[in-house]
Amino acid sequence: MIPEPRFRPTATERALLVAAGIVLLVALAARVSNAFLLPPLKDYDAPGHALNTFALYEGSLPDPRSWSGFHPPLYYAAGALVWHLLPDTVPVHVALRLLSLAAGLAAVAIATRFLARRFPLVDAVIVGTVAFCAPVVAIATSMLGNETTCALFATAALARLCALPGDDAPLARHALVSGLLAGLAALSKATGLLAVFTVGLVYAWRLRRSPGRAPAVLLAAAAGPVLLLAPLYAHLLREAGSPAVLISGSVGSPDARGEMAEQPPGYRRLSHYLSFPASSLLAPVYTAPGLAASVPGLFYATLQADGQGQFLPSSESGVFGAGRALALAGLLPTGLALYGIARGARTHRRFAWAGPLALFAAILAASFLRYAWVFPHWSAVKASYALSGLLPAAAALAIGLDSTGGAMRLGLRVLLLAVALLDAVLLWQGLWVPRAS
């Protein structure tokens, strides 16, 4: 049962809401500032993303044989449109970063609104604040790239799946919109295909006892993805010989294939999935001893710190300590979210609405682990690749927080806001750029 939202918070909750609002404003200001302060082409795979946008700006699809030409085009099409509309005085790389920020902020807003219908408003806002300030989101929304666009539409699709109409209500229209949102996620990044798959599974399960209704509903769910993705797959088949390039960019680009082949570890063992070296917390950068060969360790380092070592200026001595502080502070929301997953599994009837989130999270995790096995290199293990799992992660954190009470709950709320503020400040480029040589 979904509890009614609480519109009259207590005095303590009002204070926490004000504090969360201040942290969000600080984070948002830092993020806008980062769009200007981060040097051009310092973003992840920046030349490839910029080239894709330029191709669409010129009126053609990116070449799938180029460095990042395999990516679906939605983000780049939006970037090209913004490029056409903006005056020449606005740097293009800044506009593209702000586009990432807008998509990421919208995704967090949808997640917060979703949680506010199921948990106390103050908890929903605090979880949303923590999500927006988390290093993986902070970095993704400070750089140009398609992760946040995919996360936006995947979040919207998953939120709809958790609020299906009653058994006797017509589902076709609901499925049509859900499928369209998932298709837009897949048109942003290949991981959005997992949202398409999840949409189909959820509606099929819902109609398992109504076989007569299933064909129409499933066709409605598939209509959007087919219409949106068929032209893209036809283009990839024609230009690259196989649509598989969509999930394996190195196939299409010899340069990308050559660079990735040189990255450690170069092979995978089962132990790589079971290790979590101390460097994940104390020196959370892929070059630290043992970290490149640890899938969970490197995932955590890119989730709660600058694990790829590309965002913060490594030449600054304080960056090492900042990375350690980020990783250690991140233990609180990570641990609470893991507790929320365990709690939700034990009381699954209470959280039955989260079934589609659990399904999507399981599919996403399995795909991520498989990808890390097929491509045994450090650059293939990056938490932003799983950013479409924003809503399941936020729900897990909310369940963990909701499972506490009294003074402990108040203390956790305050500490979570403190972690969010720390993230917002340490990941502000202005803290480092003025001192950079």
Q: Please state, in angstroms and as integers, the Cα–Cα distance from residue 57 to each residue in 54, 102, 148, 185, 194, following that order.
A: 5, 20, 20, 21, 29
Number of domains in the chain: 1
Tens-digit pLDDT profile for residues 310-349? 899 988 889 999 999 999 999 999 999 999 999 999 998 9
The answer, yes or no, to whether residue 2 has pLDDT greater than 70, is no
Percent of the chain beyond pLDDT 70?
A: 93
State both tokens at 407. 């003074």
258 assigned to some structural domain: yes
Write out the DSSP string of 291-321.
Answer: TTT-HHHHHHHHHHS-TTS-SS-TTSHHHHH
Q: Are 41 and 67 in contact (CB under 8 A)?
A: no
5 assigned to some structural domain: no
Percent of the chain beyond pLDDT 90?
A: 79
The answer, yes or no, to whether residue 89 has pLDDT greater than 90, is no
Query: How many CB atoms lie under 10 A from the CB of residue 320?
Result: 15
pTM: 0.94
The answer, yes or no, to whether residue 167 has pLDDT greater than 90, is no
User: Closest Cα partner for 182 from 120, 144, 228?
Assistant: 228
The answer, yes or no, to whether residue 242 has pLDDT greater than 90, is no
Range of 232's domain?
11-435
Q: What is the mean pLDDT of residues 196-211?
A: 95
1 assigned to some structural domain: no
3 assigned to some structural domain: no
4 assigned to some structural domain: no
Highest mean pLDDT pick, 7-16, 167-176, 214-223: 214-223
Check residue 437 and give its pLDDT: 40
Of 37-41, 243-247, 297-301, give the lowest mean pLDDT range. Answer: 243-247
227 assigned to some structural domain: yes
Check residue 255 and give its pLDDT: 58
Tens-digit pLDDT profile for residues 50-82? 999 999 999 999 988 787 888 999 999 999 999
The answer, yes or no, to whether residue 405 has pLDDT greater than 90, is yes
389 assigned to some structural domain: yes
342 assigned to some structural domain: yes
> Which residues, listed in sequence order, are joined to residue 181 by a DSSP beta bridge?
none
